[in-house]
Amino acid sequence: MDKKIKGGKLIKSFLRGLCFFLILAILFAVANYLTLPRNNTKKNGIYNENAWGFYTEADNSIDTLIIGNSDAYSAFSPLEMWHEYGITSYVSGQGNVMMAEAYYVYLEALKNQNPKVVIIETDAIFPDFSDDEVAINTISDSIYNMFPLFKYHDRWKYVTFDDILNPPNYTWRSYSKGQYISTKIAAYVPEKNKSKENFDKTEIDPFILFYLDMLVNTVRSNNAEVLFVRTPCDKYYVQGKHDIIQKYADAKNIPFIDMDYDTSLAKIDWKKDTRDRGTHLNVDGAKKVSLYIAKYLIDNYHVPDRSGDPELKKAWEEDYKSYQKRVDYLRKHPE
């Protein structure tokens, strides 16, 4: 009899504990849902609006998605690629982006896009962090992306009744398709023997490698192609980085266009095409890079010319006019 009573108490305790954790899990799920941004704006908690503008592009209209850090959003001009070749692309770049976040960007883009080519700007493979910082930042990004509550915890102050009833509704769009538009000119004088600069790494950081593999494999599982591109940044070119990325690219059968390794490709004029003395390109440098890559996409990936689609053409031409208007304004009124 005592054993039965003891057994019954254990079962009750187990059931109470199970109920507690179920209730906790439900509350956690509800909190995650409520703190998820309702729009892709800064007001709603989005850190970099430009990077997430693909939400408001027409469904399945982006054939090329470009992922990377500030080098990517400075060196790629989707509207120049459109104007010259009819290619529809979007550049989702974020300063010092970690590969875990880059992987999450691609997953988010799949919610309304089905890119045929994903370009990875390879500077993100070697972020400017120590090994410990890479580990911490990668783990943090992983947790944030799995549990929005931690990433957008401040949003609880602004949750409304409508947030409870309605799913996210993205309305903010980037007419530049993610490009950072700058006409500034700050000349840079290329240094000799940059390729001989010391570099103590012999392989990709394990945390970066894990998510890079995940990104490449996921892109391919969606019947899309991967292209590695290192945009011009002679100031920080290191031969060792090129060799490591080339080895990985060869092993994965990924084309790798390194515009620092072969400076003849984009034909950058470092006196005119950089906005900050060799770190990032301005719109003139971006145009050169973009048109070279666009031609490469046409020749090697058969990316379609979408200018024959009336609705798409109307929207993109309007954005191109806005882009040109902004460029013209900045040339006359430098910021």
CA distance 256 to 122: 9
Task: Tell whether the model's pLDDT for residue 222 goes beyond 80.
Answer: yes
CATH code for the domain defined by 49-129+171-332? 3.40.50.1110
Q: How far is residue 176's CA from residue 169's CA, in Å, rounded to a whole number?
A: 21
| pLDDT in the model for residue 40 | 85
Q: What is the pLDDT of residue 3?
A: 56
Q: Residues 242-273: pLDDT tens digits? A: 999 999 999 999 999 999 999 999 999 999 99
Residue of higher predicted confidence among 29 and 83: 83
Residue 81 pLDDT:
98
Residue 88: phi, psi to the nearest 5?
-100, 120
Q: Residue type for 2, please?
A: D
What pLDDT, on a 0 to 100 scale, did the predictor assign at position 190?
86
At residue 194, the pLDDT reads 62
Question: What value does the mean pLDDT take over residues 228-246?
Answer: 94
**pLDDT at residue 283 greater than cutoff 70:** yes
- Tens-place pLDDT, residues 290-335: 999 999 999 999 899 999 999 999 999 999 999 999 999 999 988 7
| Residue 198 or 40, more confident | 40
Q: How confident is the model at residue 228 (pLDDT cuts 50, 70, 90)?
A: very high
* Strand arrangement, sheet containing 89-93: 89-93, 64-68, 117-121, 225-230, 256-258
Confidence (pLDDT) at 157: 63
User: Is 90 exceeded by the pLDDT of residue 79?
Assistant: yes
Asked if residue 139 has pLDDT above 80, the reply is yes
Q: What is the pLDDT of residue 195?
A: 57
- Within 10 Å of residue 334's Cβ, how many Cβ atoms? 10
User: Domain map of the chain by residue range?
Assistant: 49-129+171-332
Predicted pLDDT of residue 193: 60
- pLDDT given for residue 47 in this prediction: 77
Provide the pLDDT for residue 32. Answer: 67
The end-to-end CA distance of the chain, in Å, is 85
**Is the pLDDT assigned to residue 141 strictly greater than 80?**
yes
pLDDT band with cut points at 50, 70 and 90 for residue 196:
low
Range with the lowest mean pLDDT among 21-30, 31-40, 104-113?
Answer: 21-30
Counting residues of the chain whose pLDDT is more than 90, the rounded percentage is: 70
- Residue 116, pLDDT > 80, answer yes
Q: Is the pLDDT of residue 197 over 70?
A: no
* Three-state secondary structure of the chain: CHHHHHHHHHHHHHHHHHHHHHHHHHHHHHHHHHHCCCCCCHHHCCCCHHHHHHHHCCCCCCCEEEEECHHHHHHCCHHHHHHHHCCCEEEEECCCCCHHHHHHHHHHHCCCCCCCEEEEEHHHHCCCCCHHHHHHHHHHHHHHHHCHHHHCHHHHHHCCHHHHHCCCCCCCCCCCCCCCCCCCCCCCCCCCCHHHCCCCCCCCCHHHHHHHHHHHHHHHHCCCEEEEEECCCHHHCCHHHHHHHHHHHHHHCCCEEECCCCCCCCCCCCCCCECCCCCCECHHHHHHHHHHHHHHHHHHHCCCCHHHCHHHHHHHHHHHHHHHHHHHHHHHCCC
Does residue 78 have a pLDDT over 60?
yes
**Segment 110-122 mean pLDDT:** 97
Contacts of 85 (CB under 8 A, 6+ apart): 291, 294, 295, 297, 298, 305
> Quick one: how far is CA 300 from the chain centroid?
23
Best CA proximity match to 195, nearest among 235, 147, 252, 166: 235
d(CA 13, CA 167): 38
